[in-house]
Structure 1
């Protein structure tokens, strides 16, 4: 009694077509297929990463240079921070 009959599937299909329209359904199916392909390739890549030998050296990228703070020299020769203008975003 819990299984759906073919008539139930037909009603579900008609409701989906009415809600989303026949023009958007192929695009949605295409997008779903692309997403599944990407997901499948990422899972495969993760499995390949796990099976890679741990003794292989991994090249570390050089650390990026940190930005320096804007400072100004005051009368006594000490550096004082300069206030930066802040951007105000409208709501």
Structure 2
């Protein structure tokens, strides 16, 4: 009778007809969500760049720089 592709097309047309009033609102909210997601991703990337460790020439770090290594053993 009907194939899968024909049923999908009919379903899309029925949804478009029944939800025609809501489509602009849905598109607008999807656009806002995408802008918010993009801004948050950009802010997280900038935060990662600021928190990245920097290498300063001329300074050395001992191999075992943990606070426990500095305590005398009993």
TM-score, structure 2 normalization: 0.51
Q: Give, in whole Å, the separation in 1 of the partners of 2:48 and 2:36.
A: 18
Q: Give, in whole Å, the separation in 2 of the partners of 1:17 and 1:30.
A: 16
**In the alignment, what sits opposite 1:16?**
15
**In the alignment, what sits opposite 1:48?**
46
4+ aligned runs moved over 4 Å, structure 1: none
Q: Give, in whole Å, the separation in 1 of the partners of 2:50 and 2:7.
A: 49
Q: CA deviation at 1:6?
A: 3.8
Q: Which runs of 5+ in 2 are unaligned?
A: 54-74
**In the alignment, what sits opposite 1:30?**
28
Select the structure that is richer in helix.
Answer: 2
Q: Give, in whole Å, the separation in 2 of the partners of 1:49 and 1:35.
A: 21
Select the structure that is richer in strand.
Answer: 1
Q: Give, in whole Å, the separation in 2 of the partners of 1:48 and 1:7.
A: 47
TM-score, structure 1 normalization: 0.43
Question: How many residues are aligned here?
Answer: 51
Aligned CA RMSD, in angstroms, stands at 2.5
Q: Which runs of 5+ in 1 are unaligned?
A: 56-91
Q: CA deviation at 1:34?
A: 1.2
